[in-house]
Structure 1
Amino acid sequence: MRVTVFGATGGIGRHVVQQLLDAGHHVTALVRSPAKISLAHPGLTLITGQLSDRTALTQAVTGADAVISALGPSLKRSARGTQLADGTRTLVAVMDEQKLTRFIGLATPSLADPRDKPHWKHKVLPAMAKAMFPGALREMKSMTAAVTSSGLDYTIARITNPTNKPATGRIRAGFLGHDKVGSAMTRADIATFLVSQLTDTRCQRAMPAISN
């Protein structure tokens, strides 16, 4: 498959790119700083640009079969603006123009899925995020709404505590109040879940919570 990756230079995105290439997919990555990717591979195409650059977005997704976004908002309290949410809205519009429907991305259990049942995370996590990362929470809500309110065939994985530990191969996915899903998860395993959604149809138009 031809897969466009956003956030390819981040902790999760690097694993996504490597796993896609290892599986034989062709990867196009939109990056602000190509120098941050030391990987050289015949199946990897880098496009320099930002999420606000509609021309670069169009170039990145043209001909793609799916988009995987490992983007997330800055957790710095000093962060300002809505660049991520604005860029996601532009991306959704460009995908619509290109007749590209498959979107796989990330969010947090601070945001609920309609399939969830009442759960302590619905109360605790939004309160913590609002107190500690108010800007990040606003960005996450807006970028997620841009995707879920569209006609895209999306899967948005909700993660709580990503770690840099080695991959475990153990992945739990489900909905709060229904399934036994924890909090911690290695970035490598998060990437594995995202890549698996290219062929797994069980979580389409849903936001499963995932963990190890």
Structure 2
Amino acid sequence: MRIVVFGANGPTGRLLVEQALAEGHTVTAVTRDPARFPLEHPALTVAEADVHDAAAVASVIAGADAVLSALGVPYGRQPITVYSDGATNILAGMRATGVRRFACVSSSALDPAAGPHGGFFFERVLQPVIVNVFGKQLYADMRRMEAIVSASEVDWTIVRPSGLFDAPGVSEYDYAERYTPGAFTSRADLANVLLRQATEDDYARKIVAVSTSAGAPTVRELIVKEALGKK
């Protein structure tokens, strides 16, 4: 299977490319700066394209069996359009080239009503500050992306992880439509769920959640590690 990965040079994207190659797929890793992409493999093509460039996006999609988007950007105060522009141009490229299967990364933070995740402090204090203050622009664009994707005619899946953290490999995780209870998702597990969408259609035209169920940090542990830089 030929899989095209957007956001391939991000932390989840690299894991997704590695896992896809390990499973024997042919992969096109799309990045704005191919010279900085660290992976090499006989079944790997590293392609240059900016998701804001519709023509470039369409050119790398042609001939694919599935398109997976691990696009991500840091929080910022300026308006963010990577997610919505990326979805618009990827979907247009898929229509132009006849590709049907698409999956992209969003966030469980967009749907707090789906169910509890990390207790009172996480749900009532930490997550609202992240979503409504630090990540206001980012999550607003994610919502635009979800609206664009869910209104499209392709066989889409939106994957919503919880708070992301690094782990040495794929572990035990919960994976279900709309809601899973965990507060955190390892990037390796997220990549694995994205890759599953290329070969499975159980969740076509659905929103799914994924959270790591074994070895995930507590809210306090992740704050200490990420915010204070301690192990």
Instruction: Please confirm whether the aligned pair reaches a TM-score higher than 0.5, indicating the same fold.
Output: yes
Question: Which residues of structure 2 form unaligned runs of 5+?
Answer: 118-122, 213-231
- Paired residue type of 2:59: Q
Instruction: Write the distance in 1 (CA, Å) between the matches of 2:19 and 2:31.
Output: 18
CA contact (8 A) 2:170 2:189 kept: yes
- Paired residue type of 2:29: A
Query: Deviation string for 1:83-118 (max 9, x for gaps)?
Result: 431232121111111111100111112334xxx975
The share of aligned pairs that are identical, in percent, is: 33
CA contact (8 A) 2:175 2:209 kept: yes
Q: How far off its partner does 1:199 sit?
A: 2.2
Structure 1 length-normalised TM = 0.88
SS of structure 2 residue aligned to 1:60: helix
Partner in structure 2 of residue 105 of structure 1: 104
Partner in structure 1 of residue 34 of structure 2: 34
Partner in structure 1 of residue 207 of structure 2: 207
Q: How far off its partner does 1:23 sit?
A: 0.9
SS of structure 2 residue aligned to 1:45: strand
CA contact (8 A) 2:155 2:205 kept: yes
SS of structure 1 residue aligned to 2:102: strand
SS of structure 1 residue aligned to 2:83: helix
- Paired residue type of 1:143: M
Structure 2 residue corresponding to 1:119, chosen from 115, 122, 130:
115
Deviating more after overlay: 179-188 vs 151-160 = 179-188
Partner in structure 1 of residue 24 of structure 2: 24
Partner in structure 2 of residue 193 of structure 1: 193
Output aligned runs, 1:1-212, within 5 Å.
1-77=1-77, 79-112=78-111, 119-120=115-116, 125=127, 128-175=130-177, 180-212=180-212
Instruction: Write the distance in 1 (CA, Å) between the matches of 2:114 and 2:74.
Output: 28
CA contact (8 A) 1:66 1:102 kept: yes
Structure 2 length-normalised TM = 0.81
Q: How far off its partner does 1:175 sit?
A: 4.1
- Paired residue type of 1:89: T
Structure number having the greater helix percentage: 2
Instruction: Write the distance in 2 (CA, Å) between the matches of 1:21 and 1:100.
Output: 20
Runs of 4+ in 1 over 6 A off after TM superposition: none
SS of structure 1 residue aligned to 2:105: strand
Aligned CA-pair RMSD: 2.1
- Paired residue type of 2:146: T
Instruction: Write the distance in 2 (CA, Å) between the matches of 1:16 and 1:118.
Output: 26
Q: How far off its partner does 1:126 sit?
A: 5.8
CA contact (8 A) 1:172 1:211 kept: yes
CA 1:89–1:126 in structure 2 vs 1: closer, same or farther (change >3 Å)? farther
